Chains A and B, each alone.
Chain A
Amino acid sequence: MEIMQIVGAGLVSALLALTLKKHAPEFSLAISICAGIFIFIMLLPKLFLALETLQTLSDSIDGNLTYVSLVFKVVGIAYISEFGAQLCTDAGQGAIAYKIELAGKIMIMVVSFPVLFALLELLQGMLS
């Protein structure tokens, strides 16, 4: 049960951070960041599993699903940017967190252009 490990680690680090906050605030911040990274790493295999399942599912269709890998890219960008933004919020740097989120949004938009163009081209091709 990985969820137990994750929740346990989260609770322990939360308690640690709480007790250290008064005496050494910078250490409490380090602890919360470490806990975040730990959870992130724990989650990665599961995320890959989900993506793999999607890949096998998409392979079973005749149609052109070359763009599915693009979705994975987008999911990765969203995941990482959100993670970074939350760490920054934890550190009390809301402005930086917002900027990271913005960067993530723009990145996703840029990455998703090809698929949007492909869709428009497809519809255009049908009309002619």
Chain B
Amino acid sequence: MKKAGFILLAFYLLITGCRQAYGQEISDQLDMFDFQEINQAMNEGLEQKIDIGELATQAIQGKLDLSPGNILDSIVKTLFKELYSNGKLIGNLLVVGFLSALLKNLTDSFKTKGAGEVGFYVCYIVLVMLLFSSFQLAVDIGKNLISLLAKIMAASIPLLLGLLAFSGNVSGAYVLHPALIFAVNGVTVIIRDVLFPLIIFGAIIRLINNLSDKDMLARLADFFKMAIGWALKGLLFLFITILSLQRISSPLLNQLTLKTAKFTIGSIPMVGDLLSGTMDTVLYWSLTIKNGVLVASIIGLIMVCGLPLFKLAAIFICFKITAGLLQPICDERMIKAIDGVGDFAALLLWATITVAAMFLFAFMIVLSFRGG
């Protein structure tokens, strides 16, 4: 026991001692990088300002407070807050549903079918307006988040590649640069300017389909839904493939460059050995820094994505809840309309999550490149 305690104490002292030295060294090295741009881009979407450089230092020194309880707590709180703020939408939709049910009751007592239809149309107008205004809100949230993420990515590419080159992966930085820019820009443009309008279009087709009793455009709407789903999957696959391929191919090149460098330095008479040793140390330092920045930027990305994603999720859940609540009393077509728009809101959420995940992967893949 005593022995174990002693060893532990020794370890502790060693680690804390190291940490102190670490801290100084690391903040010196971190100062070499410019976090200004990425901070600016990230703080655009955040109420609570963050500093990637500081976060990275904290992460390296192990001072980051990441208790699961805290995180879970804030997640649940945010979700319920968003759901609550959407309560008015649920209320309005419910009242429209009730109104249409009452009108249906009133007009069903007449022989003339047209009377009931007019009541339905009147309620449907209001329903469409309500649904679409919140759907538009969801689209805007998604678009803004994607633009913001693209901006963050664009701002952080120089930093990422600088870190990469700094940690000895010079060729990796060269190889990745065009691929990264292409992948990030391409995916952003495709999702924001092609898939989002398609999602809106699909939702409107759903709404038009429910104007009459018969399923006239249901298949078209389903096709849109399926196509968008596959497109998202395909994009994700493509993105990961591009980055992974680069990742596979570049270490070979890299090893070569690094070996040559080491060999050249090592071959300098007298001081050569020492110098190549120093080079190794510098490489390890920079690896640590790189990992710290990785953790910090992932935390930053998650913070940026968190609120908008929760908002989208809340809108989607609202649609589904309302459809469920109205089912016993309402016209089948109204339920279908709410449910259909809910489906497309889910697609919207999914598309946004896909983009966020892609950027997260991009960060991870780039920063997990191993130097030499």
- Contact A67–B130 (Cβ < 8 Å): no
Measured CA separation A53–B103 after assembly (Å): 11
Convert A90-128 into 0s and 1s, putting 1 for each residue whose CB lies closer than 8 angstroms to a CB of B: 000000000001001100110110011011001100110
Measured CA separation A31–B96 after assembly (Å): 43
B92 close to A (CB within 8 Å)? yes
- Contact A108–B115 (Cβ < 8 Å): yes
Q: For chain A, what secondary structure do more than half of its interface residues adopt (helix, strand, loop), or is it mixed?
A: helix
CB-CB under 8 A from B88, the residues of chain A are 62
Interface footprint category on B = 20 to 34
- Contact A119–B211 (Cβ < 8 Å): yes
Q: Closest CB-CB distance, A82 to chain B, in whole Å?
A: 6
Q: For chain B, what secondary structure do more than half of its interface residues adopt (helix, strand, loop), or is it mixed?
A: helix
- Contact A61–B92 (Cβ < 8 Å): yes
Q: Closest CB-CB distance, A15 to chain B, in whole Å?
A: 26
- Contact B118–A74 (Cβ < 8 Å): yes
Measured CA separation A36–B118 after assembly (Å): 27
**A50, A74, A122: the one within 8 Å of B115 (CB):** A74
B303 close to A (CB within 8 Å)? no
B70 close to A (CB within 8 Å)? no
Q: Closest CB-CB distance, B347 to chain A, in whole Å?
A: 17
A65 close to B (CB within 8 Å)? yes
B112 close to A (CB within 8 Å)? yes
Convert A50-78 into 0s and 1s, putting 1 for each residue whose CB lies closer than 8 angstroms to a CB of B: 10011001101111110110110011011
- Contact A60–B95 (Cβ < 8 Å): yes
Q: Closest CB-CB distance, A115 to chain B, in whole Å?
A: 5
- Contact B126–A71 (Cβ < 8 Å): no
A38 close to B (CB within 8 Å)? no
- Contact B125–A75 (Cβ < 8 Å): no
- Contact B110–A64 (Cβ < 8 Å): no
A-B contact pairs, 30 of them (CB 8 A): A54-B99, A54-B102, A54-B103, A57-B95, A57-B98, A63-B92, A65-B126, A71-B122, A77-B115, A78-B110, A78-B112, A79-B110, A81-B112, A82-B110, A82-B111, A101-B112, A105-B112, A108-B112, A108-B115, A108-B118, A109-B114, A112-B114, A112-B117, A112-B121, A116-B121, A119-B211, A122-B125, A126-B132, A127-B201, A127-B204
Q: Which 5 A-B pairs have the closest CB atoms?
A: A78-B115, A108-B114, A63-B126, A112-B118, A78-B110
